[in-house]
Amino acid sequence: MAHDHDHDVADDDFDFEDIDIKEALGLPDALPPIRLQPLHELAARARTAPIAGQLAALAEWVGKDGREIDEAGDLTPDGLTEAIATLGVEPTDFAFLWEYALGVEWLVFDPEDDDRVVPGETAEDWTSGDDDRVFAAWSGTMAAVLSETLDLYGPDLEADEDPDELEFDFAGQGMAIAVLLFLARREGLTLEEFAEVLWENAAGGHDEDDEEAHGEIAEARAEWESEYGDAARLLLDKLADTLAITETDELIRLTPLALAALHEQLVEAGVEIPLLPQTAAELSGAELLAMAGGVTDAEFEAEVDGWTAARGNDAAATELLELAATAEPGERMLAVAAVTRIGPPAEPAWRASLAVPQVRAYAKVALAQLSGVDAEGTGPADLPAELEMEPEDLAWVATDLLSLAIDEEFPDPDYLAVSFREAVPAGREGMLFEGMARSDHPDAVDVLTHLGEYHPDKQVAKAARGAAHKAASRRG
């Protein structure tokens, strides 16, 4: 793909000097904390990236004396043939490498000879041996892959199409979907989700509920893929060759290299993403709970186990339950789950929590489970009165659960109904609403109000509105 020789070489996409990516992508002020690999490990891994290695070989082939280019800024035919043979790549793959190289200064136009290219600063960083500079070179390479790959996908704009008439615009979509992968680092994205987001964003804004628009996008996408190939697969393959992503268990996730690069960029853009210590033993209890939003369930459980082992069972359980008493519902339930993993050694901490309203209900459940079963193992043993669940206990737990289903910006009645049924046993709605109206739970009024407005069952909604009125009146 030829470019005018006098075009401006693109700045590293991770600079975004003229774009507020936080605002442009609608990013929150803060994200869950993250643990990054040490720099020497990142640099060692970066040095094995296939695409970076090919770019280094290209810069070495160009050499300090440079190579001749034509008026369009591309290698001469003889130079192109020699470069492809030297690197051992296909012509199509070389076209991508050439754009990556010029995009982030693996190669630059010789300031003293306008008809030649020479190795640039990124190539110097790569060969410096300095871990920080090597990682910077790798980060720039990932930026080039994100920005340049999709620019080379689709019609040749110089020869075939008027850009204003294109159905899809992939400019900037590489970086946007990389940020989405960072946001989804806990659960990952499926290939289908990755492709759908890429194509819908490239199609521009439309009503998500407009089925006709979705159908038109799908039809246009099929035509494009038939003519130009699969954009999502192309980008994923290039990112895999950069060691920026992994695809396992049908899920796409960023690698530690890409997480570190994007963390740096997002922090510079004004998003707070705290860094975690290197080991679970060094975490505070608050950090342990906060990290759950950015790791898988299995990873979080492993952190809990390591953190508990470092502190001791009793101290760990006590600290977590103290945090649970003052935490938001989501973190409270994480703390409860973490203490539950400790098992019988946590019993003293649970018993102390019977006097704490915020965690009393959870303590009753945990102590009931620890009390064992009958000799045949077929049913629960008799519980003392202190462990019996009172209406206010059930109301507290239900409020915790339902508070997680509230989304004021994008309310989802169907999801709310499912969450409500999971939190409130059938036939006990009235009792629960009455308990929530009397509850001191700080979220009770908001939860009842949201149920009253968005629950699809009119009777449930009406009862919730009545309880919300009682709760608001009781408080003031």
Name the percent of the chain lying above pLDDT 90.
61
pLDDT in tens, 179-194: 999 999 999 999 999 9
In degrees rounded to 5, what are phi and psi of residue 108?
Answer: -135, 160
* Residue 213 vs residue 295, higher pLDDT: 295
Amino acid identity at 163: P
pLDDT at 219 over 50: yes
What number is the average pLDDT over the span 58-73? 94
Cα distances (angstroms) measured from residue 353 to each of 232, 362, 367, 387: 51, 9, 10, 12
What number is the average pLDDT over the span 334-349? 96
Let me know if 127 is exposed, middle or buried by CB neighbors in 10 A (0-12, 13-18, 19+): middle
pLDDT at 9 over 70: no
pLDDT (0 to 100) of residue 1 = 36
What number is the average pLDDT over the span 210-222? 78
pLDDT in tens, 436-462: 899 889 998 999 999 988 899 898 899
CA distance linking residue 69 with residue 74, whole number of Å:
5
Q: Where are the domains of the chain?
A: 21-241, 285-386, 392-475
pLDDT (0 to 100) of residue 79 = 96
**Residues 110 and 116 sit within 8 Å (Cβ to Cβ):** yes
Cα distances (angstroms) measured from residue 364 to each of 231, 305, 355, 396: 54, 23, 11, 13
The mean of the pLDDT values for the chain is: 87
pLDDT (0 to 100) of residue 205 = 63
CA distance linking residue 274 with residue 265, whole number of Å:
13
Asked which of 8-17, 37-46, 322-331, 458-467 is least confident by mean pLDDT, the reply is 8-17
CA distance linking residue 268 with residue 345, whole number of Å:
44
pLDDT at 84 over 50: yes
CA distance linking residue 374 with residue 358, whole number of Å:
30
pLDDT (0 to 100) of residue 161 = 52
pLDDT (0 to 100) of residue 190 = 96
**Residues 115 and 68 sit within 8 Å (Cβ to Cβ):** yes
| Bridging pattern class, strands 116-119 and 107-109 | antiparallel
Cα distances (angstroms) measured from residue 342 to each of 323, 329, 360: 16, 20, 18
Confidence label for 209 from pLDDT (cuts 50, 70 and 90): low
Q: Which two tokens stand for residue 412?
A: 């989802």
* Residue 425 vs residue 387, higher pLDDT: 387
pLDDT in tens, 104-114: 999 999 988 88
What number is the average pLDDT over the span 170-182? 92
Asked which of 201-205, 283-287, 343-347 is least confident by mean pLDDT, the reply is 201-205
pLDDT at 13 over 70: no
Let me know if 249 is exposed, middle or buried by CB neighbors in 10 A (0-12, 13-18, 19+): exposed
CA distance linking residue 251 with residue 427, whole number of Å:
40
What number is the average pLDDT over the span 412-429? 86
What number is the average pLDDT over the span 260-274? 94
pLDDT (0 to 100) of residue 15 = 43
pLDDT in tens, 367-400: 998 887 433 334 455 778 888 888 889 989 999 9
Beta-carbon count within 10 A of 309 CB: 12
pLDDT in tens, 22-64: 877 788 899 999 999 999 999 999 999 999 999 999 999 999 9
**Residues 32 and 293 sit within 8 Å (Cβ to Cβ):** yes
What number is the average pLDDT over the span 116-132? 96
Amino acid identity at 340: T
pLDDT (0 to 100) of residue 258 = 98
The position carrying tokens 């939190």 is 423
Confidence label for 405 from pLDDT (cuts 50, 70 and 90): confident
What number is the average pLDDT over the span 279-301? 93
What number is the average pLDDT over the span 216-220? 82
3-state secondary structure the chain: CCCCCCCCCCCCCCCCCCCCHHHHCCCCCECCCECCCCHHHHHHHHCCCHHHHHHHHHHHHHCCCCEEECCCCCECHHHHHHHHHHHCCCHHHHHHHHHHHHHCCCEEECCCCCCEEEECHHHHHHHCCCHHHHHHHHHHHHHHHHHHCHHHCCCCCCCCCCHHHCCCCCCCHHHHHHHHHHHCCCCCEEHHHHHHHHHHHHCCCCCCCCHHHHHHHHHHHHHHHHHHCCHHHHHHHHHHHCCCEEEECCEEEECHHHHHHHHHHHHHCCCECCECCCCHHHCCHHHHHHHHHHCCHHHHHHHHHHHHHHHCHHHHHHHHHHHHHHCCHHHHHHHHHHHHHHCHHHHHHHHHHHHCHHHHHHHHHHHHHHCCECCCCCCECCCCHHHCCCHHHHHHHHHHHHHCCCCCCCCCHHHHHHHHHHHCCCCCHHHHHHHHHHCCCCCHHHHHHHHHHHCCCHHHHHHHHHHHHHHHHHHC
* Residue 345 vs residue 218, higher pLDDT: 345
**Residues 265 and 14 sit within 8 Å (Cβ to Cβ):** yes
Gyration radius from the chain CA atoms: 28
Name 190's bridge partners: 251
**Residues 72 and 5 sit within 8 Å (Cβ to Cβ):** yes
Of 203, 181, 204, which is closest to residue 194 (Cα–Cα)? 181
